[in-house]
Amino acid sequence: MLADGHAMPVLGLGTWPLDDDGARAVVGDALRAGYRLVDTATNYGNERGVGRAVREAEIPREELFVTTKLPGAQHGHREALAGLDESLDRLGLEDIDLYLIHWPLPMVGKYVDTWRAFVELRDQGKARSIGVSNFTPAQIEEVTEATGVPPVVNQIEVHPEFSQAGLRAWHDAHAIVTESYSPLGPDTAVGKFLAKNGPGLHHVAYAVDDIDATLPRLAAAGIQLIDSEPRVGIRDSRVAFLHPRSTGGVLTEIVEPAGGH
């Protein structure tokens, strides 16, 4: 549950670096498999595909949670207001569940004015919840002091080799949900394993033993997880089991389906 009272699923699907056609197919599969949170961004270039999959799904809109993000090129009050309208047009939706400032871009110096626009968009009902991504505590405090409205989410990189425990603790103390991206870590041993073994690898059960065992632990830690690969039936698939350093080192195991791959 977010601080503004809106519910947010614990598990979500990230859509980078899919194009529109890929996003339509993957998001459609993910929704049929049970996913309800879908994460996109203007910079991903796939909002049309994501929106089409959401609209084609035989799932009531109120049961889905769609996130998109404002690009740095549209920082500023007027630009941010127009930015969401453009995203909604590409998505084909009337509103968004969570709108994030993708990066603070302190050298540009417009994230406070951008946040003021976000508050207006929330009040207009175009964005049910508003948050940030890749912000520091000082930047979050600055936008909060300027508007009286804190972000309900800060989406940051979190994975076994980059836990950001201090920032997550600060979020907890300020009623801000930590939402993780790159949960396997692109530059970690896990990421290198996937890069090496990715071809022919259909599904990944990661963290401790599998994702089902891991989700309660993430939820208890206040972390929202975004997984870039929809998890459907794995019984007849080639599966990699990945374990974090906390279990004594990154261990990898390939399990072939019965009868070979």
Task: Give me the residues of the chain with pLDDT under 70, please.
Answer: 186-261
Q: What is the model's pLDDT at position 200?
A: 47
Question: What is the pLDDT at residue 107?
Answer: 85
Cβ proximity of 255 and 238 under 8 Å: yes
**Which one is catalytic: 44, 99, 111, 181?**
44
pLDDT at 162: 81
Q: Tell me the longest C-alpha to C-alpha distance in the chain.
A: 62
Domain 11-185+210-229 grouped into CATH 3.20.20.100: yes
pLDDT of residue 194: 55
Q: Reply yes or no on whether 181 is catalytic.
A: no
**The two three-digit tokens of residue 225, written as one number:** 């997880």
**Per-residue pLDDT at 242:** 37
Distance CA 214, CA 42 (A): 30
In 3D space, the residue among 52, 54, 49 whose CA is nearest the CA of residue 36 turns out to be 54
